[in-house]
Amino acid sequence: MHIAVSAPLQAASAAGPGVAGQSLGRRVTWLLLLPSTLWFLLLLLLPLLIILVFSLGERSAVGGYSAALTLDNYLNLGARAKAFSNTLVLAPVGTLICLLAAYPLAYFLAVKVKRNKSLLLTLVIVPFWTSFLIRTYAWIFILSGKGIPALLASVGLDDVRLINTPTAVLIGIVYGYLPLMVFPIYVSLEKLDKRLLEASGDLGAGAFETFRRITLPLSAPGVITGVMLVFILLMGEFLIPAILGGGKVFFVGNALVDLFLQSRNWPFGSAVAMTLVAMMLAIIALYLKLVERLGGKQSDGGL
């Protein structure tokens, strides 16, 4: 009987330090996470909560916020339908163009270039050495009457208008955000095991089939990161439409500046902002779900 009782006690005493160690590890983990958690609460969730409260209020007589509980601001979102439609069209289209332009460039830098790779990567970064505002203003001259339209007119293509159009905004988007798309894709392609490409060729797959079954799936994390990075920034873009759109191509970001700083209709501006956040979350969730499904189908039908 003495042996039967002492055995569990010995087992418990042996397990005790391990349990205590796990408890201490959890406390240390929570302690390390505390600063980032407070940062997240104070700088993300709390401002969103304040904007949500403002969106349910009313504009005071002198502008700003007056306490109320109404959904009128959300019911009046149609007044900014043009800004939403421009954003929902030009932001995805701009992201797609950036992706189509960035992938070949990233593939060339990661796979094809053997010498001077650092120099070429530096050339991709060089535009960031200049102010984004100055670079965007430079496109006004390039796209105005004395720039590309004048060059086209010299070869017989008259009356081509670029500045203050959606085309000008798209050009500015691609120029400004292309590097942000290139580097995530480049990092994924740089990590690609080149032996997989050789094995695919040895098994009889052509260049396109190798790209479809090997290169593209393995570079998907970089593509997803680049698309999310560019798309999220474009949904809140203000500067490019303001400068190259000339007040004729509004994004939601331009509408928010107008509502908060000029008309001082904070409740309506807050409703527009909350709607934009909800739309971004929904679009991103759908995109990630689609990517997950496509990834599952490709893994099921692998090489």
**DSSP state string for 62-102:** TSS-B-----HHHHTGGGGHHHHHHHHHHHHHHHHHHHHHH
- What pLDDT is recorded for position 160? 83
User: The whole model's pTM is what?
Assistant: 0.82
> Among positive and negative, which fits the CA dihedral 222, 227, 232, 233?
positive
Please give the chain's pLDDT, 303 residues, in tens: 444 445 544 544 554 556 666 777 788 888 888 888 888 888 888 999 999 999 999 999 888 999 999 999 999 999 999 999 999 999 999 999 999 999 999 999 998 888 888 899 899 988 888 889 999 999 999 998 888 888 888 888 888 889 999 999 999 999 999 999 999 999 999 988 888 877 887 788 888 888 888 888 889 889 999 999 999 999 999 999 999 998 889 999 999 999 999 999 999 999 999 999 999 999 888 888 877 776 665 555 544
- What pLDDT is recorded for position 12? 46
- What pLDDT is recorded for position 296? 64
Q: Which residues of 82-111 are buried (b: 16+ CB within 10 A; e: fewer)?
A: ebbebbeebbbbbbebbbeebbebbbebbe
User: Is residue 210 within 8 Å of 197, Cβ to Cβ?
Assistant: yes
User: Is residue 199 within 8 Å of 302, Cβ to Cβ?
Assistant: no
CA 257/CA 276 separation, integer angstroms? 14
- What pLDDT is recorded for position 300? 57
- What pLDDT is recorded for position 3? 46
Look-up: residue for tokens 């490709």? 298
CA 212/CA 200 separation, integer angstroms? 11
- What pLDDT is recorded for position 275? 95
